[in-house]
C-alpha cells in the first residue's frame, strides 16, 4: 500500500499540488495503457518541478489516438516501459496532492498501472471538472477548453500531457487565488475529491 493522507485543514496554497495528465491508448483502464504522463508540482502558486515521460506499450496506437494526441508509434517505441515510469512518478508525487481534469479517468489509468506492478495506491486527488461544476455554475460544459476560454488561457499543445497541465495550472490558480470561490483548504475541495 502506498498511501498519503491530508488533513481537512491543510492549506492548498502551501501544500505541494501535483497537477497531472495522462495520454492513453484508449478509455478503458483495464485494456488500455498510458503512453504519456506529465505533471507539474506547484507550491504557493509557483511551479517548482516538472515530470514528463512517454511510455512504451505493445498496444498499437489507433489513427484516432494518433490524430487526437499527435503521438505516433515511433515517438514511444524507445520510451521507458511503465515499470520504470510509475516508480519515478510515485517518487515525484511524494508528499503532495494530485489534481487532474476529469481525474476519475487519470486516476483509474494510474491505479490500473500501479496494480499491474503490484502497488496499491491510495492518494488524495481532486478533480477540476467536479470543482468547476460547483464554483462556475452556468457554463455550457466543463471541458478544459471551455475553462481555458473562461479564464482566457491558450494551449501550448492540446491533448499533450504537459500542455494540458499548464492550462490546468492557470485554472487552479484562479480557483485558489480568487476569494469569491472560497477555496483555501483540503476540506473546501473534499466534494471534488476522487474516492479510492
Question: What are the residue numbers of the active site?
Answer: 159
Helix (H) or strand (E) holding 43: strand 34-43
Q: Which residue has the cell 473534499?
A: 190
Strands 97-100 vs 46-54: parallel, antiparallel or unpaired: unpaired
| Long-range interactions of 55-63: CB distance < 8 A, separation 24+ | 55/79, 55/80, 55/81, 55/82, 55/85, 56/80, 56/81, 56/82, 57/25, 57/33, 57/82, 59/25, 59/32, 59/33, 61/25, 61/35, 62/25, 62/26
Cα 68 from Cα 22, distance rounded (Å): 13
User: Which cell is 163 given?
Assistant: 500542455
Alpha helices in 70-160 (DSSP H): 73-76, 82-92, 103-116, 128-135, 144-150
Amino acid at each position: 500500500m502506498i498511501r498519503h493522507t491530508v488533513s481537512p485543514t491543510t492549506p492548498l496554497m502551501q501544500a505541494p499540488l501535483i497537477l497531472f495528465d495522462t495520454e492513453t491508448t484508449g478509455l478503458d483502464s483495464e485494456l488500455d495503457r498510458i503512453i504519456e504522463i506529465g505533471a507539474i508540482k506547484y507550491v504557493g502558486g509557483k511551479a517548482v518541478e516538472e515530470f514528463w515521460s512517454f511510455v512504451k506499450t505493445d498496444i498499437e496506437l489507433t489513427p484516432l489516438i494518433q490524430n487526437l494526441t499527435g503521438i505516433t508509434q515511433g515517438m514511444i517505441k524507445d520510451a521507458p516501459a511503465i515499470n520504470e515510469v510509475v516508480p519515478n512518478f510515485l517518487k515525484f508525487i511524494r508528499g503532495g496532492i494530485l489534481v487532474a481534469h476529469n481525474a476519475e479517468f487519470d486516476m483509474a489509468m494510474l491505479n490500473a498501472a500501479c496494480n499491474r506492478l503490484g502497488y496499491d495506491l491510495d492518494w488524495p486527488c481532486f478533480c477540476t471538472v467536479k470543482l468547476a461544476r460547483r464554483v462556475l455554475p452556468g457554463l455550457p460544459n466543463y471541458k478544459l477548453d471551455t475553462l481555458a476560454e473562461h479564464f482566457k488561457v491558450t494551449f501550448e499543445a492540446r491533448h499533450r500531457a504537459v500542455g494540458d497541465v499548464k492550462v490546468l495550472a492557470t485554472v487552479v490558480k484562479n480557483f485558489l487565488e480568487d476569494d469569491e470561490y472560497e477555496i483555501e483548504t483540503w476540506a473546501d475541495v473534499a466534494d471534488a475529491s476522487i474516492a479510492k
